[in-house]
Amino acid sequence: MADEEPLPSGWEKRMSRKSGRIYFFNHITNKSQWERPKAGGNHNSIEPDKVRCSHLLVKHNQSRRPSSWRQEEITRSKEEALETLNEYIQTIKSGDASFESLASKYSDCSSAREGGDLGYFGKGQMQRPFEEATYSLKTGEMSNPVFTDSGIHIILRTA
């Protein structure tokens, strides 16, 4: 019986106080629905309303605001920023440092205080290249360099 199949990760069965009907709630996305979610499907097959990610931003002298909590005036070129970011990617992939530790120490975004965590966000809340890259990643995947008006990012999708 379909009712006995386990629910996909993050989903739980609840009872509506108002109607007395059973509904399903996802505590990761805060989405609720009357229909039972399908188990075993690719979680990206139906695009989530919100995603969560961490990022490591390297700004350059062409960034829309070439300053950060780390440096009052950023003078590095776009090429130097990309080279630096590629070194961070190699360090993460080799296991010599975690994404969170590098983001905390080197990101030019104030999210560095949170290990680069930006929390949950939906469509239209981030610059388009950043949003598109984040939504295209699966949970746990890290992006290649992503270019925005803010600078160059590595994005780690966390939910």
Based on the residue annotation, tell me whether 71 is a catalytic residue of this protein.
no
Based on the residue annotation, tell me whether 60 is a catalytic residue of this protein.
no
**Among 68, 107, 109, 143, the one annotated catalytic:** 109
Based on the residue annotation, tell me whether 109 is a catalytic residue of this protein.
yes
Inter-residue contact 76 to 84 (CB < 8 Å) = yes
**Among 53, 55, 68, 107, the one annotated catalytic:** 55
Q: Return all residues near 90 (Cβ < 8 A) that are at least 6 apart.
A: none
Inter-residue contact 89 to 106 (CB < 8 Å) = no
**Among 63, 111, 143, 150, the one annotated catalytic:** 150
Based on the residue annotation, tell me whether 150 is a catalytic residue of this protein.
yes
How far apart CA 36 and CA 152 sit, in angstroms, is: 40
Based on the residue annotation, tell me whether 43 is a catalytic residue of this protein.
no
**Active-site residue set:** 55, 109, 127, 150, 153
